[in-house]
Chains A and B, each alone.
Chain A
Amino acid sequence: MSAAVTLPDEPPSYPEEHYLNNGYSLKSWLTTTDHKRIAWLFFFALTFMFLIGGTAAALIRIELITPAGDLVSDGTYSRLFSVHGIVMVWFFLIPSIPNTFGNFLLPMMIGARDMAFPRINLLSWYVYMIGALAIIASLFAGAPDAGWTFYTPLSTQYANDATIIAAVGVFIVGFSTIMTALNFVVTIHRLRAPGMTWFRLPLFVWSMYAVAVLMLLATPVLAITLLMVTVSSWLHIAIFNPAIGGDPLLFQHMFWFYSHPAVYIMLIPSMGVVSELITTFARKQVFGYEVMVFSMLMISIASFFVWGHHMFVAGESTFSALVFSLMTFVVSVPSAIKIFNWTTTLYKGTISFDTPMLYGVSFIGLFLVGGLTGVMLASTGLDMDLHGTYFVIAHFHYIMVGAAVTAYMGAIHYWWPKITGRMYPEMWGRFAAITMFIGFNATFGPQFLLGVAGMPRRYHTYPPQFQVLNEASSAGAVVLAIGYIMPFCYLIWSLRYGKIAPPNPWGATGLEWQTASPPPEHNFGGEIPVVSRKPYDYKHYDAEHGEWQGRP
Chain B
Amino acid sequence: MSTKPEQVKVQFETLDQQQSADRLGMWIFLATETMLFGGLFFGYTAMHTLHPQIFDKASHELEWQLEFINTAILLTSGLTMALAEFAVAAKRRWLTLFLLILTLFFGAWFLTAKGIEYLDDFSNGIVPFVAGGYHYSGLQPQIAKLFFNFYFALTGLHAFHMSIGMLLLMLMAWLTFRWRDPDKMIRRLRIVGFYWAFIDVAWITIYTTIYLVPR
Contact = CB atoms under 8 A, between A and B. Distances in A.
22 contacts: A113-B11, A115-B11, A182-B29, A191-B21, A216-B28, A217-B31, A217-B35, A219-B32, A220-B35, A223-B39, A236-B129, A237-B129, A237-B145, A237-B146, A238-B146, A239-B43, A239-B47, A244-B143, A245-B143, A247-B47, A253-B46, A527-B1
A245 B10 contact: no
B17 A239 contact: no
Identify the 3 closest CB pairs spanning chains A and B, nearest first.
Answer: A245-B143, A224-B39, A220-B35
Contacts of B12: 116, 191
Given A190-B17, A190-B24, 15 more contacts: A107-B11, A116-B11, A178-B32, A191-B12, A217-B32, A218-B35, A220-B39, A225-B39, A228-B153, A236-B129, A238-B145, A238-B146, A247-B50, A254-B39, A522-B11
A250 B50 CA distance: 11
Nearest to A235: B129
B142 A245 contact: yes
B11 A216 contact: no
B33 interface: yes
Given A190-B17, A228-B43, A245 B50 contact: yes
Nearest to B46: A250
A237 B142 contact: no
Interface in A240-256: 244-247, 250, 253-254
Given A116-B11, A246-B146, A220 B21 contact: no
B46 A247 contact: yes
Contacts of A239: 43, 47, 146, 149-150
Given A113-B10, A239-B43, A245-B50, A189 B36 contact: no
A237 B142 CA distance: 11
A220 B28 contact: no
A244 B25 contact: no
B42 interface: yes
Contact of A186 (B21, B40, B46, B142): B21
B11 A191 contact: yes
B161 to A, nearest CB: 13
Given A220-B35, A224-B36, A245-B143, A250 B43 contact: yes
Nearest to A114: B11
Interface in A493-552: 522, 526-528
Nearest to A190: B21
B42 A254 contact: yes
A490 interface: no
Query: Interface size bucket, B side?
Result: 35 or more
Contacts of A247: 46-47, 50
Interface residues of A, number: 42
From A186, A216, A223, residue with most partner B Cβ within 10 Å: A186
A189 B149 contact: no
A83 interface: no
A223 B32 CA distance: 11
A182 B35 contact: no
A313 interface: no
Nearest to A194: B13
Interface in B135-150: 140, 142-143, 145-146, 149-150
B128 interface: yes
Contacts of B142: 238, 244-245
B181 to A, nearest CB: 19
A190 B142 CA distance: 52
B20 interface: yes
A333 to B, nearest CB: 26
A261 B51 CA distance: 30
B38 interface: yes
B47 A250 contact: yes
